Amino acid sequence: MTDVKYGRGYVYSIQYHIVWCVKYRHKVLVGDIDVRLKERLHQIATDNGFTISEIETDCDHIHLLIDCTPQHSIPTMIKALKGVSARLLFKEFPNLKKKLQGGHLWNPSYFVATVSENTEQQIR
């Protein structure tokens, strides 16, 4: 069960299940790229004040379970995660950009669902 957290004058427990895909579903999230992506995403989350509780990749898409505060907006979190991770991975793995048409790592769309006590274990 998710821990209840306390803010100044409010109590909350907010989790999101977020999924997005590699552009054109290219199967590039393997090996060192996969490892570095996960490390980078955890760092981006920390830098932006939220937490990734679970993270799983499958060569062409990624699943995240995110814990955040009421002040975090979904589009802002996703923009940070996708934008910064793409920039850092392209810098670290220059051949990655050549594998992708147009030089974009991520598909612009994403899936997001709220997580409750009833669904958290299924997502994990």
**47 phi, psi to nearest 5 deg:** -60, -25
CATH number at residue 55: 3.30.70.1290
Residue 2 has pLDDT above 70, yes or no: no
The residue-averaged pLDDT of 10-28 equals 95
Does residue 2 sit within a domain?
no
Does residue 63 sit within a domain?
yes
Vertex 87, ends 82 and 92: CA angle to 5°?
A: 125
Token couple for 1 = 């069960």
More confident residue, 46 or 121: 46
Of 103, 77, 78, 109, nearest to 91 (Cα)?
A: 103
Residue 57's domain comprises 12-116
Q: How many C-beta neighbours within 10 Å does residue 101 have? A: 9
pLDDT of residue 1: 53
* One-character DSSP codes across 9-20: TEEE-EEEEEEE
pLDDT of residue 99: 85
Does residue 75 sit within a domain?
yes
Over the stretch 20-36, which tens digit does the pLDDT of each residue have?
999 999 999 999 999 99
Over the stretch 77-123, which tens digit does the pLDDT of each residue have?
999 999 999 999 999 999 998 888 778 999 999 999 998 765 656 65
Does residue 73 sit within a domain?
yes
Does residue 6 sit within a domain?
no
Number of domains in the chain: 1
Does residue 7 sit within a domain?
no
Does residue 91 sit within a domain?
yes
Of 73, 61, 55, nearest to 124 (Cα)?
A: 55
Residue 42 has pLDDT above 80, yes or no: yes
pLDDT of residue 119: 60
Does residue 60 sit within a domain?
yes
